[in-house]
């Protein structure tokens, strides 16, 4: 987008710089008149200014993109790897990037829904600075989902294109080097944003359909009528949840022969109370649980 100067008379930001407000700050969103110059964003209702542009900060003119046709001196490949949770491993991504000849990798474990991803911002900033020095730069990612989806991915790709930074994916639907301004990239980026919502909607529909048929959502149940009867008997003796659980034994399934957890006992008693007009509340008295009726 920043490959075009802002046509707003109140802004007139030159190519290479984000839009600005009337008070001399970096605009939160690019001006509509400007992103209409970009075909793939022409129908968008709004396009936010990337976080790396520091929206709300004092506006300064950034170095303009290098003149087309100027031969770059050398080529640097920067990598980016991301996992959504701390439990997920980055090893496969790191191995893939190393095999692709990436010399430096920025990695982090953070959700793609996070508004700020520090390592990605650092990688983009460094790529822009290296390119401004006259060296060709390509940002290499294992798969496009590691960067983002939908409009977020299209916005980031447009920012890289405006800075003349290449973008390459090693696998997935967008495998290969792509022109972020191309129609194919735009369509696939939009579809990737729709994929998550489609999976979520289908999952919720499946859960609702199962509930209407009386099926349990989640893992296999470990409680039965005999266990409930025993738990009610022990509860009447004012035993704690922990002691009740220690007296009960699972009779079916993969956990056969084991004791249920206190949380399982509490849910079983709670569900029984809700089904009979009786509500059961766990409370702590002298470091022990006691079931109270109301």
Quote the DSSP letter at residue 59: P
| Cα–Cα distance for residue pair 272/6, rounded to 1 Å | 65
Catalytic residue among 84, 96, 111, 209: 84
Residues in Cβ contact with 131 at an 8 Å cutoff, skipping those fewer than 6 apart: 66, 72, 137, 163, 164, 165
CB-CB neighbours of 230 under 10 Å: 14
DSSP 229-285: HHHHHHHHTT--HHHHHHH----SSTTTTSPPPHHHHHHHHHHHHHHTT--EEEEEE
Q: Which residue, 96, 102, 100, 95, is CA-closest to 77?
A: 102
Is 163 known to be catalytic?
no
Catalytic residue list: 84
């Amino acid at each position: 987008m920043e490959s075009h100067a802002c046509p707003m008379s109140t802004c007139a930001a030159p190519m290479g710089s984000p839009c600005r407000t009337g008070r001399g700050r970096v605009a939160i969103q690019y001006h509509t008149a400007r992103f209409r110059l970009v075909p793939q964003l022409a129908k968008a209702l709004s396009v936010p200014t990337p976080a790396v542009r520091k929206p709300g900060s004092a506006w300064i003119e950034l170095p303009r993109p290098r003149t087309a046709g100027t031969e770059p001196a050398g080529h640097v490949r920067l990598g980016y790897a991301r996992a959504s949770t701390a439990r997920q491993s980055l090893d496969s991504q790191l191995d893939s990037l190393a095999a692709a000849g990436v010399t430096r990798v920025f990695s982090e474990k953070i959700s793609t829904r996070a508004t700020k991803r520090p390592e990605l911002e650092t990688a983009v900033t460094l790529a822009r600075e290296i390119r401004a020095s006259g060296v060709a730069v390509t940002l290499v990612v294992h798969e496009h989902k590691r960067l983002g989806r939908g409009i977020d991915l299209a916005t980031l790709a447009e920012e890289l294109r405006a800075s003349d930074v290449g973008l390459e994916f090693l696998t997935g639907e967008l495998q290969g080097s792509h022109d972020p301004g191309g129609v194919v990239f735009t369509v696939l980026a939009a579809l990737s944003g729709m994929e998550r919502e489609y999976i979520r909607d289908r999952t919720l529909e499946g859960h609702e359909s199962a509930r209407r048929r009386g099926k349990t959502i989640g893992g296999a149940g470990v409680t039965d009528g005999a266990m409930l009867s025993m738990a009610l008997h022990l509860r009447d003796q004012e035993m704690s949840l922990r002691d009740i659980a220690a007296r009960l034994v699972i009779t079916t399934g993969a956990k056969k022969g084991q004791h249920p957890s206190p949380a399982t006992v509490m849910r079983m008693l709670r569900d029984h109370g809700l089904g009979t007009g009786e509500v059961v509340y766990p409370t702590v008295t002298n470091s022990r649980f006691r079931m109270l009726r109301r």
